[in-house]
Amino acid sequence: MQTLNQQLLDNIIAIAKEAGEHLIQFYTRSVAVKIKPDDTPVTEADLFISQLLTERLTQLTPDIPVLSEESCNIALSERNQWQEYWIIDPLDGTQQFINRTDQFSIVIGLVQKRGEKNQPVLGVIYAPIVEKLYFAMEASGAFLQENGKTRPLVSTPYCEEKPLVITVGSQIQADKALQTVGGREVQFLQYGSSSLKAGLVAEGKADCYIRFGDTGEWDTAVAEVLLKEVGGAVFDFDFSPLTYNLRETFINPYFVMVKNSSLNWDKIFLFK
């Protein structure tokens, strides 16, 4: 099992930044776009960055398999044997990249087997255009690097008097969220890729991020580490934790990411 330490985290940050340089180059020109069988877009940038990250991670840790959104056709019978694995989203927010919103990121996480479960334990989210780098490691805190400075992200108490700030990906998502919030005053913060919305929650710019619609395990794994380190959590609409590498499918249930896990979120969101 890979030992978690600062050197490993520094290496992953360096790999993410190298990939970010390439992504910036792709962003300066038009890229080829294809539609995948699930009707989501994929660009040549996704595929290039996926291959680059896989090569770099394999060089760094030859014995740890790499699971990428762009190369995930691996049977559960094989994945069941994994004690740990890298999980990557080479371009989280492909549609944001195509739409030129700047709000997309490179995501690298490490998941380790803990008993019957698989637990994300280290992760990096790097948004090269907006120059934000989130990183976290189990029991070592969560951090944001921005404007040349690195600061720790900390847990913050929730103020009942203020409106609940919910970050979402679209107006449609906001409308759906509004129907689940029982009479509470809310504000919506619309933003790009899933991992960057998780970052806004970890920073405290939003109280939570709610998602109606399909995502993959690579969209949430690093967010799990980031939020856990600031007292937050990720759960599905039954208020149960998400799982990793336990099912044939990588598709997550609909979920909520929260900054403060001690709140009675089942009293705030009435999903049933």
Is 214 annotated as a binding-site member? no
* Residue 183 reports pLDDT greater than 80: no
Mean pLDDT of 106-135: 97
- Write the pLDDT tens digit of every residue in 154-175: 988 877 788 999 999 999 999 9
Q: Would you state the structure tokens that stand for residue 183, as one six-digit string? A: 């009479």
Mean pLDDT of 35-55: 90
Mean pLDDT of the residues in the chain: 94
pLDDT band at residue 239 under the 50/70/90 scheme: very high
* The model scores a pTM over 0.75: yes
CB contact at 8 A, 100 and 107: no
- Write the pLDDT tens digit of every residue in 208-237: 999 999 999 999 999 999 999 999 999 999
Q: How far is Cα 24 from Cα 126, in angstroms, rounded to an integer? A: 12
Burial class (CB in 10 A: 0-12, 13-18, 19+), 172: exposed
Is 69 annotated as a binding-site member? yes
**DSSP 8-state assignment for residue 181:** B
Q: Would you state the structure tokens that stand for residue 24, as one six-digit string? A: 């910036």
Q: How far is Cα 140 from Cα 162, in angstroms, rounded to an integer? A: 30
Is 219 annotated as a binding-site member? yes
Is 263 annotated as a binding-site member? no
Is 91 annotated as a binding-site member? yes
Is 192 annotated as a binding-site member? no
Q: How far is Cα 99 from Cα 93, in angstroms, rounded to an integer? A: 10
Q: Could you give the domains of the chain?
A: 6-152 (3.30.540.10), 164-267 (3.40.190.80)
Is 89 annotated as a binding-site member? yes
